[in-house]
Structure 1
Amino acid sequence: MQQIAIILGAIFIASVINIILKRFDFPTIIGYILTGVIVAEFFHLNVHNTEILEYVSEFGIVLLMFTIGLEFSFRELKVMKKEVFVYGALQVLITGLLFAFMATLLFSMPLRSAIIIGFALALSSTAIILKILNETGEIHASYGRKALGILLFQDIAVIPLLLMIEIFTKDVPLQALILQTLLNMFLFFLLLYILGKYVIDRFLHYAVATKNQEIFLLAVFFVIILSAAVAHYFGFSYSLGAFFAGMLLAESHYKYQIEADLSPFRDLLLGIFFFSVGNRIDLSIIVDHFGQIILLLTGIMLLKALIAYGIVIIWEQKRTAFKTALTISQVGEFALALFVMAYGNKFIDETTLQIVVSVVVLSMIATPFILKNLKRLADKLFKEPVRELIIEGGHFNNHIIVCGYGPLGKEIAKVLKHKSFQYIIIEHDLKLYEEGVQNNEPIFFGNAAQRNVLQSLDVKNACAVVMTFHNLEKIRLVAQAVLDMAPNAHLVARVRDEKEKKVLEDLSIADIVVSTQVLSKEMMDRLLYCHI
């Protein structure tokens, strides 16, 4: 009865804390960790004396690794090869080696422990970053794509990090160990490939054919656990097996259905894992080393940001490099899993675990604040990049100004070109601008919200100005700048829904296209066409 009361108390505490934290846009990860701390301190229940909790939380990591593998797309890697294999690889290698070197030099750590900690600290929080960037729409911004590329490589880097722990745990000559590991890896891949091609795919096909969600979900869990068990048989971790199972199904027809069905289970089991992380935290150790934790937090985030900035600045403008660097400056959730695994294998002691876990948690808490104020920080430190507009062929007249050369801007430009309309594109993202130049578009680099830029494009003589971006603040700035110079200008903007349209009602925008309305009309037209 006491155990039931503690479980009910833990669920209630987790719910209340997360409800409060969501008001301030904190990730639920923080709520679960704080719940773990509270339960350990007040109910004296922790994973050291609750074996079932430890197994369940480990299964949460297995599901996390499976979903990471599921999101691992070779097509996406091909499109973003520079961001992934140049920015990402340099960030992980330089940051990991530097932190490992500092751990041995400043804290006299054994080399193996220093390498694990160093490379774990190099990882960033995929869950928090992608969630916030997707919500704000910044995932499609230049810095968002750079951050995504780096995060993708960090996900790939998890594989050698898991292997590294496996190798370090075995007390045999290194050369023989590497050969044995490579042989086992080859056999594991071969067996998993055969199972995937001849067994798993057919098995899932039969499960789908039943048209029963429970049977399909049961089949997916079987595949995950089977892959994890096969990996464990060859001497690897369950997590590694789950990761490759995800990769195996990433290119299949079932990918999105699996993601949708597994999401609630994964989030719940991950919540238990993060609860178990908080459950391990000893507040007395945190209080005793509080100054050291704050210094480490500041130093780690600052160094990560400086390294990322130094890498990205080689190829990109300062502003983009700065925003990318701050975006990935925190330490990620998988670092927590690596620290727990390292502690379980006696690579780090209890005190070190408490300190590094506290640093990770605090860096996660800081992340939403950093990302929400990213533009403000960038504006203070770096002016908006401006290039001189060189317009050949005299003044424009009766032309269309297209603001933005993103996916929508490209489509509009294609239609205007096909209909032989005179148009000009203005783009502020250097990469998109260069892409437009390569495509022989009449494109100019500049900020459409700046009046001198609009004047150079003869906005007073334009027959229309089209804003292709969906950032409300940017739409408002551009619209106000255009209307100040040309009060009768014909403005066209796009918004996501009616709520966003109402926000812009005070501006004299002639046409506001509501994306949801247009899409619903198009879909209904096609649906009705099918029935006629």
Structure 2
Amino acid sequence: MDHHGILVFLAYLLAAMVAVPIFKRLGLGAILGYLVAGTVLGPQILHVVINPDDALHLAEFGIVMLLFVIGLELNPQKLWEMRTQVLLMGGGQLLGSAVVIALLCHFLFGFDWQIAMLLGLTLGLSSTAFAVQLMDEHGVMATDLGRKGFSMLLLQDMAVIPILILVSAFAPQIATAGHNTAPWWYGPLAIAAVLLVGRFAINPLLTIIAATNIRELLTAAALFIVIGTAFLMQSVGFSMGLGAFLAGIVLANCSFRHQLETDIEPFKGLLLGLFFMAVGMTLNLQLLVTKPLLIFGLAVGLMLLKTAVITLLCRNKSTDIWDALALGLMLSQGGEFAFVVLTKMVNFGVADNATRDIVVIVVGVSMALTSPALMLFNLWRKRHQDTPRSYDKIDNEEPEVIIAGLGRFGQIAARILAANEMHFSALDKDASHVDFVRKFGNKIYYGDATRLDLLNAAGLAHARLLLVAVDDEKDSLTIVDNVQSAYPNLKIIVRAHNRAHAYQLFARKVDVVVRETFESGLIAARHTLELLGYTESQALNKIEIFRQHDEQMMMNAVAHKEDLTKLQQIAMEGRRELEELFKQDTHH
């Protein structure tokens, strides 16, 4: 590589390192960061790269590897279990959006039906990277709403290959250009060969390679499988992406699936970043200057249309209107595969550069608008949604135990008490969590345990003890202070989130302080010692020595909980004392 080539390579890396973290921090996603980085490096601003086509050809291998990983993740058994939701929700979203967009492209903008159909399908796709990130940030991935969204994204991922095949089918002149066309039966034969090799040969081959314990060989094998299959499919007239996707599906149940995905991931990430940067270099920024209303209008229109389609589908499945609108906005942007499809359409002569420039800019703007639009929607939702739910009215209770906070910690105690027919009352101030827990037959009230009046209504005066298991440290301290002031003789057990929280609780002379990770850590340490050769009694003895020493050190540190220097000194002394205790135990 010459001097200029090295400088260009460094410029790619530097631009990505600067732009991507900034855009991720702003909530706009890595894809937009790559696009902007490419735009800055390209021929329209800094002129670091004059001809982005060279980078684009290399970067297309990123798409090939992405399709391979998508194929790997499409476990046939999982797909079969989700078939109804994927077909109904995913198919309804993509086809519904595509039909409306295609009609608008044909009648409003004058595109012929072939291009209108391709644009409809392309713009019907959402950005998996954006949508999954947003669903995860808003806590819906593990909910029924998240499963609906995932079904739509899953079908979109599977639809990419048929869309790319359509692009090739609408460009018959490409089939005869340059080289002789392969006989028609080469294609089915190549597919059958991939299926047979993937089914019977790949796993034994990878087993032999893995037995060498040379990690680089497995990486080389992963690259060979992806690129080799992609090249084979291209040689018989199919796309490289189809070959990679097919290879991924064949290996979805392979015992080396996770290893292959891990080995491919770095190459996929780098080459995908390079692809998006190359696309950014080809963006026609003049459109944003000369036609801003058109570009932003089309982007907003696309988002509104897709949001409407998704909302109608979710409402048909009895989803709450606010949740349906939120999911619609999360999936409303154009997807990263639009850049892939539009590039192929231009290369195959299906669409011209002007169409590609407008659509790519519109997709990029829709990505940039998604997070701000969702933030505004959430503000509007809070303002116009029903008035805040009032706390539950608690009948006169006379429980033996009151549990403040029925999350993952408090539920364990509640289940044991219920199994032993011991009467308890539980309060939690997360309304959605209360409704969810009630579905499983648990007795729980929606209420704030920091309020003494609600604790009294729950039967605090009749209770034998209070278990404080709330998630918020300040709330737990407030509850302890209130209850100790009103009922000084009541036994209190409190969940401690960390050492500093435990200091605060010990200082308040709480009856029992349960450090939530301490016991599980001791159990893990005991099993570790046993697997290293210690007998069960030896391991238990060493764990007990550590427990007593740590608890004593905690008590010594309580008086100095605000003095960091003193706490560090106590920790150092405690470490030396613990080493001496273990030495003495060994000599005995």
TM band (smaller chain)? 0.7 to 0.9
1:362 matched to 2:365? The reply is yes
Q: Which amino acid aligns with 2:59?
A: S
Question: Aligned pair in 2 of structure 1 residues 215, 485: CA closer, same or farther (>3 Å)?
Answer: same
Shift of 1:386: 6.2
Question: Aligned pair in 2 of structure 1 residues 380, 476: CA closer, same or farther (>3 Å)?
Answer: farther
Deviations 1:271-330 (A, max 9, x none): 100011101112223322221100001111111112211211222222321221221121
Q: How many Å separate the matches in 2 of 1:502 and 1:86?
A: 55
CA contact (8 A) 2:86 2:154 kept: yes
Range 285-294 or range 511-520, more displaced: 511-520
Q: Which amino acid aligns with 1:219?
A: A
Q: Which amino acid aligns with 2:161?
A: I
Deviations 1:151-170 (A, max 9, x none): 22222222322332233233
Aligned residue runs from structure 1 range 93-492, under 5 A: 93-134=95-136, 137-170=139-172, 187=189, 189-314=191-316, 315-370=318-373, 375-383=378-386, 395=397, 397-399=399-401, 415-422=416-423, 429=432, 437=439, 441-442=441-442, 459-461=458-460
Question: Aligned pair in 2 of structure 1 residues 6, 375: CA closer, same or farther (>3 Å)?
Answer: same
Aligned partner of 1:24 among 20, 23, 26:
26
Deviations 1:450-482 (A, max 9, x none): 999x969953447556768x7x6xx98899899
Shift of 1:42: 3.6
Q: How many Å separate the matches in 1 of 2:183 and 2:518?
A: 56
Question: Aligned pair in 2 of structure 1 residues 223, 412: CA closer, same or farther (>3 Å)?
Answer: farther
Q: Which amino acid aligns with 2:358?
A: I
- Matched residue of 1:107: which SS? coil
Question: Aligned pair in 2 of structure 1 residues 333, 84: CA closer, same or farther (>3 Å)?
Answer: same
CA contact (8 A) 1:396 1:458 kept: no
Q: How many Å separate the matches in 2 of 1:467 and 1:509?
A: 14
Shift of 1:109: 0.9
Deviations 1:488-509 (A, max 9, x none): 79686696x789999999x999
Q: Which amino acid aligns with 1:289?
A: K
Aligned residue runs from structure 1 range 77-88, under 5 A: 77=79, 83-88=85-90
Q: How many Å separate the matches in 2 of 1:130 and 1:509?
A: 43
Shift of 1:416: 4.7
Q: How many Å separate the matches in 1 of 2:71 and 2:139?
A: 24
Range 147-156 or range 486-495, more displaced: 486-495
Range 522-531 or range 484-493, more displaced: 484-493
Range 208-217 or range 375-384, more displaced: 375-384
Shift of 1:408: 7.5
Deviations 1:118-138 (A, max 9, x none): 111111111123235446655
Deviations 1:64-107 (A, max 9, x none): 11122222234544665565333222211211111111111211
Partner of residue 529, structure 1: 530
Partner of residue 53, structure 1: 55
In structure 1, stretches of 5+ residues that fail to align are 173-179
CA contact (8 A) 2:495 2:516 kept: no
Shift of 1:61: 0.6
- Matched residue of 1:316: which SS? coil
CA contact (8 A) 2:231 2:240 kept: yes
Partner of residue 550, structure 2: none
Q: How many Å separate the matches in 1 of 2:518 and 2:374?
A: 31
Question: Aligned pair in 2 of structure 1 residues 210, 112: CA closer, same or farther (>3 Å)?
Answer: same
Q: Which amino acid aligns with 2:303?
A: M
Deviations 1:243-270 (A, max 9, x none): 2222233333323223333222211111
Q: How many Å separate the matches in 1 of 2:190 and 2:240?
A: 12
Shift of 1:145: 3.5
Partner of residue 582, structure 2: none
CA contact (8 A) 2:346 2:352 kept: yes
Deviations 1:27-55 (A, max 9, x none): 222222112112222454668x4554222
Deviations 1:406-440 (A, max 9, x none): x878766654544444467878559x968964x5x
Q: Which amino acid aligns with 1:342?
A: M
Question: Aligned pair in 2 of structure 1 residues 295, 483: CA closer, same or farther (>3 Å)?
Answer: farther
Deviations 1:179-233 (A, max 9, x none): x999887655533221112111112112221212111100001111122123324
Q: How many Å separate the matches in 2 of 1:114 and 1:513?
A: 64
Partner of residue 175, structure 1: none
Q: How many Å separate the matches in 2 of 1:78 and 1:68?
A: 16
- Matched residue of 2:108: which SS? helix
CA contact (8 A) 2:405 2:468 kept: yes
CA contact (8 A) 1:459 1:485 kept: no
Question: Aligned pair in 2 of structure 1 residues 118, 413: CA closer, same or farther (>3 Å)?
Answer: farther
Q: How many Å separate the matches in 2 of 1:279 and 1:502?
A: 57
Question: Aligned pair in 2 of structure 1 residues 23, 51: CA closer, same or farther (>3 Å)?
Answer: closer
Q: How many Å separate the matches in 1 of 2:167 and 2:239?
A: 9
Q: How many Å separate the matches in 2 of 1:479 and 1:303?
A: 49
Cα RMSD of the aligned pairs, angstroms, is 4.5
Question: Aligned pair in 2 of structure 1 residues 98, 525: CA closer, same or farther (>3 Å)?
Answer: farther
Question: Aligned pair in 2 of structure 1 residues 515, 242: CA closer, same or farther (>3 Å)?
Answer: farther
Partner of residue 10, structure 2: 8
Q: Which amino acid aligns with 1:303?
A: L
- Matched residue of 1:204: which SS? helix
Partner of residue 73, structure 1: 75
Q: Which amino acid aligns with 2:310?
A: A
Q: Which amino acid aligns with 1:378?
A: R
Question: Aligned pair in 2 of structure 1 residues 79, 382: CA closer, same or farther (>3 Å)?
Answer: farther
Question: Aligned pair in 2 of structure 1 residues 10, 402: CA closer, same or farther (>3 Å)?
Answer: same
Higher RCO (Cα < 8 Å, 6 or more apart): 1
Shift of 1:449: 5.7
CA contact (8 A) 1:448 1:478 kept: no
Question: Aligned pair in 2 of structure 1 residues 388, 259: CA closer, same or farther (>3 Å)?
Answer: same
Question: Aligned pair in 2 of structure 1 residues 448, 309: CA closer, same or farther (>3 Å)?
Answer: farther
Q: Which amino acid aligns with 1:88?
A: G
TM normalised by structure 1 equals 0.79
CA contact (8 A) 1:64 1:266 kept: yes
CA contact (8 A) 1:139 1:145 kept: yes
CA contact (8 A) 2:398 2:459 kept: no
Partner of residue 559, structure 2: none
CA contact (8 A) 1:492 1:513 kept: yes
Counting aligned pairs with the same residue, the percent is 26
